[in-house]
Amino acid sequence: MAEDIKWFKTHCARWDHGGCALLVGVEGGKITKIKGDPDGYLNKGYTCPKGRLSAERLDHPDRLQYPVKRVGERGSGKWQRLSWADALAETAAGLNKVKEKYGAKGVAFGVGMPKGLEHFVLIRLANLFGSPNVIASQDVCHAPREITGVHTCGFYPVADLHNPTKLVMLFASNPAATNEEGQICSNLDQQLKNGAELIVVDPRRIDYAKKAGLWLRLRPGTAHALVLGMLNVVITEGLYDQEFVAKWTHGFEDLTGQVKDYPPEKVAEITWVPAEDIRAAARKYAAAKPAAIQWGNPVEHDVNAFHVIRGLLCLMAICGNLEVSGGNVNAYEPKIMGLGQFVRADLIPDKPKEMISRHYGVIPRLMTISPAFFRRAILEDVPYPVRGYYAMCTNPLVAWADSKKTYEAFRKLEFMAVADLFMTPTAAMADIVLPVAHQFEMNDIGHYGIGHGMITARPKIVEPPPECWPDMKIMNELGKLVSPPELWKEDHEEFLTDLLQPSGLTYAQFCEKGYLKGPDRFKLYEEKGFRTPTGKVELRLSTAEKFKLPALPSYDGLPEEEDPDYPLILISAKSPNYLISSYRWVKKVREREPEPVVEIHPETAARYGIADGDEVRIETKYGAIVQKALITDIVDPRVVSAAIGWWFPEGDPARQYDWDKANFNVLTSVDKLGKEYGTPNLKNIGCRIAKA
């Protein structure tokens, strides 16, 4: 009965980066309703379908309820129940055994997308254990933008959609389908209502493309050329902010020389974007004061990511849109504990020298290991053997590029423990599986450490099942067994108190407030300069030689050579219903999107004799899968867009739930990697299709 509902305030998480403030209705100890909280700083009452359905995961019959250990062959699906005391003891013994044999760095600690504090407790666990190797998908998510921003201008420039702007360029970003690190579409929609102009750069005709004044449908894998073309227009037509460039940039002459080779007509041939549209986009962006570039995760999805990101940073800078209200800003953190202190970085001072990725000469400050390098360490002992893996909130067998290599690597591990809500294809390969609490079942803090200048309160709403523990608690107890116990907490919730301590707030007071945000500060460089070696925005990187990085953004060709045997270009797009490989077992979500679908243009479908709903075999040089055809002109006739993250909870547990049947990453490879972050071609690769 509606009058018996009690409403609680919290923030959404675990189905993307989170950030939507929620009102959660509880009846009889169960969550029965979820809606957006109009007071939400990021969402103003908005939620997506995932947020509204997120409590469906709590009472699911297949949810893991107690710890288990493997009793058959690895991956055979045979398990034995364990008590928590035994599960922790066996996990500690497994990790310590690998440590004795290969050293602490022979054990890696893994996480998928950081959602709450558990991410940082995991880094702390790795640090205290003595391993420099935290494995995360940051090679294809967030870190390239963040770290390249730090090298170029001293900070990670975030699109400021909270203050009035004149123009927003959605560059490979679709906030209506996926929350891009707290950039929730309600703020963008408000800007558009207030009259901001919209430019969309996307190979798919996303809904925002229909609302945009200009939609640049680029050839996938050519974003770096497109940005160079826009820079060419801005510079040759003298549209840049002359005062800012003169005072605050380093290497403008070099950049000018570099972009001379990319006139719009030449760039149009590479990118398929008409020259007049490249000119129009550059002119509009340069003229609008201020203008914000909301740059999405796909800029990090192929081996040329560094050049795309560098080019966009140069564009923001020379047009005077860095660190201005309504432009791309430095999001200052509120007064809370710094990351280094939280993770006890001081206890592992040699980490940068000892990390697996050091061997590959990646960009300095990248503090996690690319999954491609991790698997080489397992399969080829390069640069040293790794044989132990503790993982949480992650499903790499499906989510990482080159799934077959992941499967081989996991088969070779000597010890593997996974903490998760459900048995996933990855958990199914572990020695120990630990059941975790859901976000609504624990006290947590969101948005810490992702560079958006705020943290959100996520208080517990309901009790977890008796043996499902918060990840923080699991690691706090495991930490006491594998590292000095005095460096861990009596109760894991002390981590929340520690983090908030500089703010002077208790966790309860913080929850009352809902969120903490750093101050809006603009043009701080006028007092202090930019935090780079030259004190300016480095259009030409002054550290390029030292770090063996390209000094200037450039176009060195497509991510993969063209091959007439694979004439179509394969891309993917995030689903509004799932997050990568998550939650295929949630009935209401599965009803919304029951199976993997590949988008094919009508002309292309006709050429290959494929009808809507047909099973389609999609094949690249690296593998083949089957998905169902959706005939649509959302994609260009030369492009197909396949669904990512698919596996089948209803499939055979002894075959890891059909991990290779429709899984996009069977089609990708890690043989070719971008040097700067170890990024593979996660999309933008040649493929062919046929009716299956």
Can you give the binding site for ligand SF4, defined by CB under 6 A? 12, 15-16, 18-20, 43, 47-48, 50-51, 179, 184
Whose Cβ is closer to ligand SF4: residue 34's or residue 199's?
34
The bridge status of strand 328-330 relative to strand 157-159 is antiparallel
Between the CA of residue 629 and those of 121, 324, 360, 640, 690, what are the distances in Å?
43, 45, 40, 10, 10
Give least dist CB 185 to ligand SF4, A. Answer: 8
d(CA 145, CA 153): 12
Least distance from ligand SF4 to the Cβ atom of residue 460, Å: 17
Nearer to ligand SF4, 258 or 575 (CB): 575
Q: What angle do CA 43, 40, 150 make, to 5 degrees?
A: 65
Q: How far is the CB of 140 from ligand SF4 (least distance, A)?
A: 19
φ/ψ of residue 368, rounded to 5: -115, 165
**Token pair 């050839």: residue:** 219
Cβ distance to ligand SF4 smaller for residue 35 or 411: 35
**DSSP-assigned letters across all residues of 139-205:** GSSSHHHHHHHHHHHSS-EEE--SS--SEEEEES--TTTS-BTTB-HHHHHHHHHTT-EEEEE-SS-
- Looking at beta carbons only, is 47 or 232 nearer to ligand SF4? 47
Min separation Cβ 56 and ligand SF4, Å: 13
Q: Is 21 helix (H, G, I), strand (E, B) or coil?
A: strand
CB nearer ligand SF4, residue 187 or residue 304: 187
The residue assigned the tokens 């969402």 is 43
Q: Which is nearer to ligand SF4, 42 or 270 (CB)?
A: 42
CA dihedral 641, 646, 648, 652 (to 10 degrees): 110
DSSP string covering 38-74 = TT-TTTTT---HHHHHGGGGTT-TTS--S-EEE-SST
Q: Which is nearer to ligand SF4, 37 or 538 (CB)?
A: 37
Q: How far is the CB of 179 from ligand SF4 (least distance, A)?
A: 4
When CB distances to ligand SF4 are compared, the closest residue is 51
Instruction: Find the shortest distance in angstroms from Cβ 296 to ligand SF4.
Output: 14
SS3 256: helix
Round to whole Å and give the CA distance between 624 and 617: 7
Between 12 and 401, CB nearer to ligand SF4:
12
Least Å from the CB of residue 50 to ligand SF4: 4
Nearest one of 146, 166, 180 to 326, comparing CA atoms: 166
- For the CB of residue 182, give the shortest distance to ligand SF4 in the complex, in Å: 8
Nearer to ligand SF4, 8 or 608 (CB): 8
Nearer to ligand SF4 among residue 16 and residue 302 (C-beta):
16
Residues 6+ apart with CB under 8 A from 231: 255, 259, 262, 282, 311, 314, 315, 318, 553
- Count H helices, E strands: the chain? 24, 29
Cβ at position 446, least distance to ligand SF4 in Å: 9
Q: Annotate 455-516 with DSSP letters as a single string.
A: EEEE---SPPPTT-B-HHHHHHHHHHHHS-GGGS-SSTTHHHHHHHGGGT--HHHHHHH-EE
CB 181 to ligand SF4: min, Å: 10
Beta bridge partners of 516: 455
Q: Residue 64 is which amino acid? A: L
Smallest distance from ligand SF4 to CB 587, Å:
18
| Cis ω before 383 (30° cut-off from 0) | yes
Pseudo-torsion of CA 536, 540, 546, 550, nearest 10°?
150
| DSSP-assigned beta bridge partners for residue 36 | 22
Q: Look up tokens 């309820």; give the residue.
A: 65
**Closer CB to ligand SF4, 16 or 197, in the complex:** 16
Q: Which is nearer to ligand SF4, 48 or 218 (CB)?
A: 48
Smallest distance, Å, CB 685 to ligand SF4? 28
